[in-house]
Structure 1
Amino acid sequence: MELMNKILEVAKSDKKRIVLPEGNEERTITAAQHIQAQGFAYPVLVGDDKEILDKANELGVDLTGVEIVNPEKSDRLQAYIESFYELRKNKGMTIEKAEKIVRDPLYFGTMMVKLDDADGMVSGAIHTTGDLLRPGLQIIKTAPGVSVVSSFFIMMVPGSNYGEEGMLLFSDCAVNPNPNEDQLAAIAIATAETAKNLCKIDPKVAMLSFSTMGSADGDLVTKVRNATEKAKELRPDLLIDGELQLDAAIVKKVADQKAPNSKVAGKANVLVFPDLQAGNIGYKLVQRFANAEAIGPICQGFAKPINDLSRGCSYEDIVKVVAITAVQAQSVK
């Protein structure tokens, strides 16, 4: 796939340390071997080193060169505990609670990123999105000027001419259940920036609804309409338009009829869904019915990159998300 090949080359140009806190999980162990072999990042497995190596041996996986960090043996554990306590003491955190929490591999891995012992983190093969977001929001927090963390999928639809020769970004499909107008506007802007910086395309952002340019009304439509206007006001340099029905967003013939004056309609390559139900259902429909590849969910908005996986992911999916995380880490200032 051309996009992933480009991402891998960019990742190789400035290799980053990416921590994998689900270190004893089979797909993660296999992915670490492939990441090390391909040489685009430095994978770091977190967990009991003996257990990880025994599991790798059972799988026939060679972890030569792959760093394994056991929280219980780490000389950084105490620093992480003290730092986490300082971050959360105003929220009622005690040093005793911190000592227990930071030993959790997800919290330990997040502290590695926070204190620059790793450049990014990927988990989710055996944990939920909430398990990832909780330490992320407590420890990493949002980037300056960013009001909301969101997610996107890169959808690669074989044989399709929609979007950028079959590539589209779908957002938000994993994080925000029911974003308000301001959050929806922020999600649109963040995904447009992702399209430019990661996918190297000129974003054309469609704010999706069951209405196109006033064809229907009601609170659900008003939210999308107002979010569109707020996004345009905040970033007049971006092509963002709505509200648009899906067909008007990506099919030129429909766009010519329903939204003839729109610079986005019929040409959209970024689709912003009005809520999580629509986004999650939408990406899975395309994935299954169109035999599309869904890369993600990838998070955007954190001060440093930490990313989620589907619990049904393959080791190849983990490899791809690590590559994307490594490229995101190159942009952290």
Structure 2
Amino acid sequence: MELMEKFWNAAKGDIKRIVLPEGEEERTLVATEKIVKEGLAKVILVGNEKNIREKAKDLKVDISGAEIIDPETSDKLEEYTNGFYELRKKKGMTLEKADKIIRDPLYFATMMVKMDHADGMVSGAVHTTGDLLRPGLQIIKTAPGISVVSSVFIMVVPNCQYGEDGMLLFSDCAVNPNPTAEQLASIAISTAETAKGLCNMDPKVAMLSFSTMGSAEHELVEKVREATKMAKAARPDLLIDGELQLDASIVEKVAAQKAPESNVAGKANVLIFPDLQAGNIGYKLVQRFAKAEAIGPICQGFAKPINDLSRGCSAEDIVNVVAVTAVQAQNQK
């Protein structure tokens, strides 16, 4: 069974409420029809109801199964304004500013998730990653024990013996340009939890570098070593090891030579890249050269599930990210 099919089936098993703040966007409306038809989630569209219904009519899509909420007329506006003010008043927020900000569909939708009026949020068809992260960090904040929000790609490589029959998790490939050692440790822990909760994998986490277990000395290598120590100390229950070169991480023969004492080397299914340049280049190389399916970027580290889209996404991409977000919501503790 294809991985996305598994996500779809899981989403259908416990229907969650997913809010889409770009409710007036065409691809979002096309996706909404399919999400509702397939029973993947209960969709909440945020925006001007008249505009949404007119666009849906023009597109000939049926969104009758979705709920539509206009921040300007919602009976939750005052509650969300007060809630946002309380969250940000120590940062200089006023009720007047809060009332203005919360009418923005992204902020309104994020408050819906915060107040448990929605189980997750998906945005990004017309907004940037920064647009999504800003209200997410101000309102949802990070999960306990996690210091940084990051991204993960689930890479599914055809006819591949590495990872879990060709499935590996790559992080961070989309959010943090140059994480500190502490942030890198947090990213490793988040990705291990994603592997367990979202992919039903027993995570074996490799902290990647151009050095394997002391084969080179450099401040960049030292950062990965320090991150590995921090991650192991914070979560001794997880299999995390480093620093490891890519070949030592996934190839057993190489691991036997370079890192024979490691319980991860040669068997890694979670790859933590030392910085965004390496991660972004790495996932795109595998995607193009190995014809791999790259599912993501999936946001991780938030206290509640909110996910980003590429502005070049298709309606089908939105459907799939909604399914993934629904499964993340199911796994919330």
Distance in 1 between the 2:274 and 2:28 partners?
A: 33
**Once the 2 structures are TM-superposed, how far is the Cα of residue 60 of structure 1 from its aligned partner?**
2.3
1:54 match? 54
1:199 match? 199
2:144 match? 144
Distance in 2 between the 1:20 and 1:316 partners?
A: 14
1:74-153 residue pairs with structure 2 within 5 A?
74-153=74-153
Letter in 1 for 2:179: P
Verify: 1:154 aligned to 2:154, yes or no. Answer: yes
| 1:97-156 CA distance string (max 9 Å, x none) | 112111111001001111111111011111111111100010111122222222111111
2:179 match? 179
Distance in 1 between the 2:51 and 2:284 partners?
A: 35
Name the SS of the counterpart of 1:164 in structure 2: coil
Letter in 2 for 1:324: V
Name the SS of the counterpart of 1:45 in structure 2: strand
1:31 match? 31
1:255 match? 255
Distance in 1 between the 2:254 and 2:68 partners?
A: 54
Distance in 1 between the 2:283 and 2:54 partners?
A: 37
**Once the 2 structures are TM-superposed, how far is the Cα of residue 59 of structure 1 from its aligned partner?**
2.1
Distance in 2 between the 1:320 and 1:236 partners?
A: 33
Contact map agreement 1:23 1:46 (CA 8 A) in 2: yes
Distance in 1 between the 2:142 and 2:193 partners?
A: 15
Name the SS of the counterpart of 1:11 in structure 2: helix
Q: Are residues 287 and 103 of structure 1, via their aligned partners in 2, closer, same or farther at CA, if it must alter by over 3 Å?
A: same
Letter in 1 for 2:316: E
Contact map agreement 1:106 1:132 (CA 8 A) in 2: yes
TM-score norm. by structure 1 comes to 0.96
Greater Cα offset, 258-267 or 161-170: 258-267
Distance in 2 between the 1:312 and 1:160 partners?
A: 28
Verify: 1:68 aligned to 2:91, yes or no. Answer: no
Letter in 1 for 2:83: S
Name the SS of the counterpart of 1:62 in structure 2: coil
Q: CA RMSD in A?
A: 1.4
Contact map agreement 1:295 1:317 (CA 8 A) in 2: no
Structure 2 residue ranges without an equivalent (≥5): none
Distance in 1 between the 2:134 and 2:238 partners?
A: 31
Verify: 1:285 aligned to 2:285, yes or no. Answer: yes
Q: Structure 1: which 4+ aligned runs deviate by more than 3 Å?
A: none
Aligned residue pairs: how many?
333
Verify: 1:20 aligned to 2:20, yes or no. Answer: yes
Identity of aligned residues (%): 75
Name the SS of the counterpart of 1:148 in structure 2: coil
Structure 1 residue ranges without an equivalent (≥5): none
Distance in 2 between the 1:100 and 1:250 partners?
A: 51
TM-score norm. by structure 2 comes to 0.96
Name the SS of the counterpart of 1:31 in structure 2: helix
Distance in 2 between the 1:3 and 1:114 partners?
A: 29
Distance in 1 between the 2:294 and 2:196 partners?
A: 19
**Once the 2 structures are TM-superposed, how far is the Cα of residue 329 of structure 1 from its aligned partner?**
1.3
**Once the 2 structures are TM-superposed, how far is the Cα of residue 159 of structure 1 from its aligned partner?**
2.1
